[in-house]
Amino acid sequence: MTSLHSPLAHVELPEAHAHAGVTLREDKFRGHLNLRGNPQDEAFTSAAEKVLGVALPTAPNSAVENDAVRVYWLCPNEWLLLVAEGAEGQTEADLRAAMEGQHIAVTDLSSGQTLINLSGENLPEVMMKSTVYDCHESNFPVGKAVQTTFAKAGATIYKCADGSYDLVIRRSFADYIFLWLKDACAEYGLAVQ
């Protein structure tokens, strides 16, 4: 028996549809870390860059990534770090060590949220059903990350290079969001990977 259950581990798959207009994939068990610190403090930013290998993004609604980590700007002094499954402990320890004595916070949220990826040709319409944010390419280019509402829950939405969206959602809302997506995608067909 595994000790790990992702937020969407137990969902009931929707009935098979001849054509899946939208595909949902849960990228489960990723390491999620919340980082707080002062972006004006060079000691902080350089320590973060040293540990993460990328500079913390300071432009609103942006994200940067390398092979090991994707860093979301959440607010002027807050970032979300997505690392590989199990890497969160070491990353947290490395950050704490590098930022010793600074006014920072590192908080493990790996179990508190999950990453789902949505793709498919009917995705634009499903996004219009689900969020008040304007997901048109002119407003939501690849690489942008936005915290907004998704149905009646919240989500951090990232536009991937392949046109799909990564959504970071809170664990307790995962069942509701899945229910919402199953309903919103019913007319197009929803596939779950």
Partner 1 sequence: MSQVNRLQQGGRVDRSKPLTFTWNGKQFQGYQGDTLASAMLANGIKVVGRSFKYSRPRGIFGHGAEEANALMQLGVGKETIPNPRATQVELFNGLEASATNGWPNSDFDLMEWVGKIGGKMMPPGFYYKTFMWPEKMWMTYEKFIRKAAGYGKASLEADPDIYDKLNRHCDVMVVGAGPAGLAAALEAGRAGKRVILADEQNEFGGSLLASKQSVNGQPAAEWAEAAAAELAAMDNVVCLPRTTVFGYYDQNFLGALERRTDHEGMTAPSGSRQRIHRIRAHQVVLATGAIERPLVFANNDLPGVMLSGSVATYVNRFGVVPGNRAVVMTTNDSGYQTALDIHAAGRTVVAIVDTRHNPEGRLLDAARAAGITVKTGHAVIEAKGGKQVTDALVAPIDAAGDSVTGKPVSMSCDLIAVAGGWSPVVHLSCHTGSRPQWNDDIAAFVPGPSIQKQHLAGAIIGEYTTAGALNMGAAMGAEAAGAEAGSNYDCGDESVCPAQPMYLVPHTKSVMRAPKQFVDFQNDVTAAGITLANNEGFESIEHVKRYTAMGFGTDQGKTGNINGMAITAKNLGKTIAETGTTIFRPAYTPVTFGALGGRDIGDLLDPARHTAMHPWHVENGALFENVGQWKRPWYYPKAGETMQDTLNRECMAVRNSVGMVDASTLGKIDIQGKDAREFLNRVYTNAFSKLAPGKCRYGLMLKEDGMVFDDGVTACINDNHFVMTTTSGGAAAVMSWLEMWSQTEWPELEVYFTSVTDHWATCSFSGPNARKVLAKLCDDVDLSADAFKFMDWREGTVAGIKARIFRISFTGELAYEVNVPANQGLYMWQKIMAAGEEFGITPYGTETMHVLRAEKGYIIVGQDTDGSLTPQDCGMDWIVGKKKEFSFLGKRSFTRPDTARTDRKHLVGLKPIDPTVVIPEGSQAVADPNQPIPMDMLGHVTSSYWSECLGHGIAMGTVKNGFNMMGETVYFPQADGRVLAAEIVSPVFYDAKGERHHD
Partner 2 sequence: MLHIYCPYCEELREEEEFSYSGEAHIARPTDPEALTDAEWGDYVFFRKNPRGLHHEMWNHAAGCRRYFNATRDTQSYEIHETYKMGEKPSVTSQGAAQ
Contacting positions for partner 2 (CB under 8 A): 60-61, 74-76, 78, 132-133, 147-149, 154
CB-nearer residue toward partner 1: 68 or 151: 151
User: Are 84 and 68 contacting, i.e. CB atoms less than 8 angstroms apart?
Assistant: yes
Is residue 43 a contact point for partner 1 (CB under 8 A)? no
Residue 112 binding: pick among partner 1, partner 2, none (C-beta 5-8 Å cut-off by kind): partner 1
Q: Which of 1, 18, 59, 161 binds partner 1 (CB under 8 A)?
A: 1
# chain residues binding partner 1, by CB under 8 A = 48
d(CA 105, CA 103): 7
DSSP states along 19-45: S-SEEEEEETT-EEEEEE--TT-HHHH
User: Are 151 and 177 contacting, i.e. CB atoms less than 8 angstroms apart?
Assistant: yes
Please name which of 69, 170, 72 lies closest in space to residue 116, comparing C-alpha atoms: 170
Question: Where does this chain bind partner 1 (CB under 8 A)?
Answer: 1-7, 10, 29, 34, 36, 77, 103-113, 125, 128-129, 131-134, 136, 138-139, 151-153, 170-176, 179-180, 183-184, 187
